[in-house]
């Protein structure tokens, strides 16, 4: 069956939904392809037609979440003042809180390594896009290293906030202050947190 066949798309959508439902109920490491197949109403062999393993299925199922987080990160003006946190960053943490159980499980010790890697890669790309748009680090650190630093830090904070009941505005403000200590950038005439 071709990947763009409507039946294949419906099957993948059903498998993604089943995987997310089950991940919301228990740790991904305790799940099996058989359990996902049963929840989706298909046989296990059908799952293998679409995904090589459970981690690949989880990574695909979380792609919308990755896109939402990356979009919010890309909208953050990296050269904004230290206070208040940019609204897109608050929106990002509101999204995380809304899906806290899923993020906590997917980024936790029993979660999906592919999802965590995909999220870091998407965030790194979002920050690099901001750099390509003209924002520049306020240090001489190479842009790719700077982007990787910010993305890794943000994934860590997302994992932390998903596992506790932190207010999204407070999480965004704290994250923005931390980025100000080592992650702010300069853009043309604006320099934030650059040593005097």
Q: What is the CATH number of the domain that holds 138?
A: 1.10.357
Model confidence, pTM: 0.75
Contact 110, 157 (CB under 8 A): no
Matching residue, tokens 């320099």: 191
Domain boundary among 43, 58, 73: 58
Does some domain include residue 1?
no
- Spell out the per-residue pLDDT of the chain, length 196, in tens: 566 788 888 999 999 999 989 988 888 888 999 999 999 999 999 999 999 999 899 888 888 888 888 888 777 766 666 678 888 889 999 999 998 998 998 898 888 888 899 999 999 998 888 888 777 666 678 888 988 988 999 999 999 999 998 899 999 999 888 876 544 444 433 333 333 3
Does some domain include residue 130?
yes
What residues make up the domain containing 27? 6-58
Is residue 49 domain-shared with residue 129, that is, in the same domain? no
Q: Residue 30: which CATH number?
A: 1.10.10.60
Is residue 10 domain-shared with residue 97, that is, in the same domain? no
Is residue 123 domain-shared with residue 152, that is, in the same domain? yes
Is residue 136 domain-shared with residue 160, that is, in the same domain? yes
Is residue 86 domain-shared with residue 178, that is, in the same domain? yes
Is residue 120 domain-shared with residue 174, that is, in the same domain? yes
Contact 30, 110 (CB under 8 A): yes
């Amino acid at each position: 069956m071709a990947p763009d066949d409507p039946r294949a798309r419906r099957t993948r959508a059903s498998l993604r939904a089943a995987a997310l439902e089950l991940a919301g109920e228990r740790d991904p490491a305790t799940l099996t392809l058989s359990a996902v197949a049963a929840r989706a109403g298909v046989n296990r062999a059908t799952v293998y037609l679409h995904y090589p393993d459970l981690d690949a299925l989880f990574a695909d199922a979380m792609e919308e979440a990755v896109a939402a987080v990356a979009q919010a990160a890309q909208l953050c003006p990296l050269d904004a003042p230290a206070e208040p946190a940019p609204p897109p960053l608050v929106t990002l943490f509101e999204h995380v809180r809304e899906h806290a159980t899923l993020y906590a499980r997917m980024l936790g010790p029993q979660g999906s390594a592919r999802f965590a890697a995909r999220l870091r890669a998407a965030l790194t790309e979002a920050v690099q896009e901001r750099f390509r748009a003209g924002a520049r680090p306020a240090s001489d650190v190479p842009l790719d290293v700077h982007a990787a630093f910010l993305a890794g830090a943000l994934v860590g904070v997302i994992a932390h906030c998903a596992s506790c009941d932190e207010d999204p505005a407070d999480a965004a403000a704290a994250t923005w202050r931390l980025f100000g200590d080592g992650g702010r950038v300069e853009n043309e005439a604006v320099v934030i947190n650059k040593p005097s």
